[in-house]
Amino acid sequence: MHIRRRRWLIVAALLSALVVAAAISVAIRIPFSSKVLRDRLVSALEDRLDADVDLQELTLRVYPRVHASGRGLTIRFEQRTDVPPLIAIQEFNVDADLIGLWRHRVARVRLDGLAINIPPDDPDSEPDTKDEPDKSGTPPDASVYGRDVVIEELDAPDAQLTILRSEPQKAPRVWRMHQLKLRQVGLASKMPFETDLTNAVPPGQIIAAGTFGPWSRNDPGATPLDGQFTFDHADLGVFNGISGILSARGSFEGTLDKLIVNGQTETPDFMVNLSGHRVPLRTTYRAIVDATNGNTTLDTVDATVLNTRIVSKGGVYEVEGAHGRIVKLDVNIEKGRLDDVMRMAVKTAHPPMVGGLTLSTSLTIPPGPKDIVDKLLLDGRFRINNGRFTDTGVQTKINDLSRRARGKKVSEDEPVARVTSDFAGRFKLGNGGLALSDLSFDVPGAVVRLHGDYSLRRETLAFEGDLNMDAKLSQTTTGFKSLLLRIADPIFRRNGKTVVPLKIAGTRNDPKFALDYKRVFNR
């Protein structure tokens, strides 16, 4: 980003102080003629801001108090007539008294119809290098701007900040500030502020208060900023595939190009639309925000879903040529619950499986309008400990598999709840499908090793692999079948285990297990 464009953002944030400082500086030095005052004000602003300035009307009254009002003020940088002016003010009013002016203090300034438009970089312009960054970290001296004027109270109701995009097809980012109040406004001082604004995506109300400044002239990104914020009624439904109403609380401190944010969020009705289940989601986070471009580095995000803790880090970044931002995270779950996670991902009233969960994965959500289920990308590993299927029919099949794999008779069958399974494997999720490799499924007496695919939307299975059993094939049944299988025992017996090639098809609720005859005879 050009240094000049970064400075525009700061100038926009400090516009009110600059306008009033120039107006008052002129007013106390020249005859009180509105026309002369208007011309001098325009000239002063053009000189200070290196910009094209237009002011339609300016009037001045000195009795009983000094009152200046103006209409139609616009400020345009670098003759950019291809975009809206950086600054546009429909009307401004300045109130002061002569004693205050003598002390370079203004009682009150009100800006109505303030519109700030941050343009994209001009691709034909050269980077602005005339102002080298000030690495000293010292605040700007008042002499840099002339004698500092302090505005005791500045209000800009119903202001609007718009960040334009370099690609015309991309909608601008718009923030509507219902209230913007600054106190003790001066270019070389800390300025307390309060603002109430509507966030665009996700839509919701942000209330923030803190201090801004002093403005770092040579390195605008180093301008200090700190305070607290609340973010309420944020509708996550604007993101395809999820829904819920989020609220957040937190604090921020640092500089414009490195703002450290610590906060907490609560979404009591968070839902992945594919599942149809609402779950409470709580997070605490630490983020580093570059306020000059909106990129956010997530240093730590600690989330809780029901009884499962999810820890992640990564970032949210703008992508050139794309609408929206990309999310990249590294996600870890230790000692979590599979049922908590599955409740967000499957449609059934009860999670199909319960058990302990350990997971480590990269997570990417590319920009774009697709449903989050269809564009979510995962690549990682997982382990499920003591897993048990909640569907009685499925669990009965698992019990039967374990019993037969150990060569037990039907009379020695165990209760459903007593047979648990362990899973582990590597997975990749993309385009609504889950690919599993190195998948192992353990039950007492047997280990299944598989690879294949699972469709999230259709809930269909397509896997193949090997079943490794302690018992011989002939020991998995009784009677005449057992006698016949004794012939096949040597074919499937390897290193003290029975290895059976198999395929799994069907659906999640009704899996179909079959012998893979092709691989048997290819041996």
User: Between vectors from CA 450 to CA 445 and to CA 453, what angle results, nearest 5°?
Assistant: 140
Selection from 195, 174, 187, 181 nearest residue 84 by Cα: 174
Work out the pLDDT band at 305, boundaries 50, 70, 90: very high
360 has pLDDT over 90: yes
384, 420 contact by CB (below 8 A): no
CA distance linking residue 42 with residue 433, whole number of Å:
62
Output the six-digit token pair for 13. 């944030």
Which range has highest mean pLDDT (53-57, 176-180, 381-385, 419-423)?
Answer: 381-385
What would the pLDDT profile of 101-126 be if each residue is shown by its tens digit? 777 788 888 999 988 887 765 555 54
DSSP 321-360: TSSSEEEEEEEEEEEEEHHHHHHTT--SSS-SEEEEEEEE
355, 339 contact by CB (below 8 A): yes
Range in 140-154, 364-378, 424-438, 439-453 the model is least confident about: 140-154
CA distance linking residue 323 with residue 169, whole number of Å:
9
| Higher-pLDDT residue of 189, 244 | 244
As a whole number, mean pLDDT of residues 87-105 equals 82
SS3 416: helix
Selection from 305, 320, 233 nearest residue 275 by Cα: 305
As a whole number, mean pLDDT of residues 451-468 equals 86
pLDDT of residue 421: 81
Work out the pLDDT band at 13, boundaries 50, 70, 90: very low
pLDDT of residue 4: 42
pLDDT of residue 194: 92
23 has pLDDT over 60: no
As a whole number, mean pLDDT of residues 120-143 equals 46
21 has pLDDT over 90: no
326 has pLDDT over 60: yes
pLDDT of residue 521: 63
How far is CA 491 from each of CA 449, 495, 499, 502, rounded to the nearest angstrom? 19, 12, 9, 15
As a whole number, mean pLDDT of residues 210-216 equals 82
Work out the pLDDT band at 130, boundaries 50, 70, 90: very low
pLDDT of residue 2: 42
Selection from 86, 58, 61 nearest residue 72 by Cα: 58
Enter the pTM of the model: 0.74
| Higher-pLDDT residue of 375, 122 | 375
- Tokens 């959500």 sit at which residue? 365
As a whole number, mean pLDDT of residues 413-437 equals 77
424 has pLDDT over 50: yes
| Higher-pLDDT residue of 48, 226 | 226
Range in 28-37, 129-138, 165-174 the model is least confident about: 129-138
Output the six-digit token pair for 339. 């049922």
What proportion of the chain, given as a percentage, has pLDDT over 70? Answer: 79
Range in 161-170, 306-315, 443-452, 510-519 the model is least confident about: 161-170
What phi, psi does 121 have (nearest 5°)?
A: -60, 140
DSSP 196-262: EEEETTTTEEEEEEEEE----SS-GGG-EEEEEEEEEEEEGGGSTTEE-EEEEEEEEEEETTEEEEE
63 has pLDDT over 50: yes
As a whole number, mean pLDDT of residues 45-74 equals 81
| Higher-pLDDT residue of 519, 353 | 353
pLDDT of residue 128: 45
| Higher-pLDDT residue of 395, 248 | 248
pLDDT of residue 70: 86
Q: Which residues contact 199 (CB under 8 A, 6 or more apart)?
A: 175, 205, 206, 231, 234
What would the pLDDT profile of 257-296 be if each residue is shown by its tens digit? 788 999 999 999 999 887 888 999 999 999 988 766 667 8
pLDDT of residue 53: 84
pLDDT of residue 139: 43
Output the six-digit token pair for 301. 């995000």
